[in-house]
Amino acid sequence: MSRVIENPRELILKKAEVLLFNEGYSSVNIRRVAKDCGIAVGTIYNYFPGKKELVIEMMVNFWINFFLKINTEINSDKDFYLKLKYIMDELSCILKRFKDVWLKNELYSTPDYIASGMQEHNTHIGKLISMIEEMLKSELEARNREIDNGFTTHSMAKFIVINFISMIQMPFMDYDFFEKILKKLI
């Protein structure tokens, strides 16, 4: 008699994530994940057509968790700039983890992987830009202000996110200096 596994999809993702972060992308294969889960290989294929889809689903889960964390902060009564700093810190955590694992050349060895992975990544970056744009609109409305120099809230939100990513990947500018620039612009 076969045993019933509660939440097999989550079990597969959890074991694959542990394998990915402990042993690297090349160690993640369907047979190994099935063995670590104590399930048949076919069971994994019921949820994920292949390794690519499994890896992309892990990436999506990281973004979902990121948005859950920052959503509470965004909806708080805290200062606009404290919220931005919190988002920057959380984004730093996720991007550093992406940089160490997701941005390895072996992960993007085929155009199919690149297209799928980057499409998901860009979707989530777009969502972050929209969230910051809404925060910015609320902040400007509360202060009865407009952005100077003809910028739009959308272009300013993109500017913020792009600079967050740049500061995380190439820490040549500290956040405090960036915040001073924002305060001059907003």
What's the pLDDT at 114?
A: 59
What's the pLDDT at 91?
A: 92
Determine what percent of the chain is predicted with pLDDT higher than 70. Answer: 85
Contact 142, 83 (CB under 8 A): no
Q: Indicate the SS3 state at residue 98.
A: helix
What's the pLDDT at 49?
A: 92
What is the average pLDDT value for the chain, to the nearest integer? 86
What's the pLDDT at 101?
A: 63
Task: Return d(Cα 7, Cα 10) in angstroms, integer.
Answer: 5
Q: How far is CA 31 from CA 37, 44, 82, in A?
A: 10, 9, 46
Q: Indicate the SS3 state at residue 121.
A: helix
Q: Which residue has the higher pLDDT, 32 or 25?
A: 32
What's the pLDDT at 145?
A: 87
Task: Return d(Cα 5, Cα 37) in angstroms, integer.
Answer: 10
83 CB-near residues (< 8 Å, 6+ apart): 73, 74, 76, 135
Instruction: Identify the band that residue 141 occupies on the pLDDT scale cut at 50, 70 and 90.
Output: very high
Report which DSSP code applies to 75: T
What domains can you pick out in the chain, each with its CATH number? 1-48 (1.10.10.60), 51-185 (1.10.357.10)
What's the pLDDT at 104?
A: 60
| pLDDT tens digits along 152-164 | 999 999 999 999 9
pLDDT of 121 > 90? The answer is no
Contact 15, 36 (CB under 8 A): yes
Q: Indicate the SS3 state at residue 49.
A: coil
Q: Which residue has the higher pLDDT, 100 or 138?
A: 138
Q: Which of 61, 54, 57, 58 is nearest to 34 (CA)?
A: 54
The 3-state DSSP composition of the chain as helix, strand, coil percent (nearest 5) reads 80, 0, 20
* Residue 144 Ramachandran class (φ > 0 left, ψ -120 to 50 alpha, else beta): left
Instruction: Identify the band that residue 1 occupies on the pLDDT scale cut at 50, 70 and 90.
Output: very low
| pLDDT tens digits along 60-108 | 888 899 999 999 999 999 999 999 999 999 999 887 776 666 556 555 5
| pLDDT tens digits along 51-71 | 888 988 988 888 899 999 999
Residues of 94-104 as b/e, b for ≥16 C-beta within 10 angstroms?
bbeebeebbee
pTM: 0.79
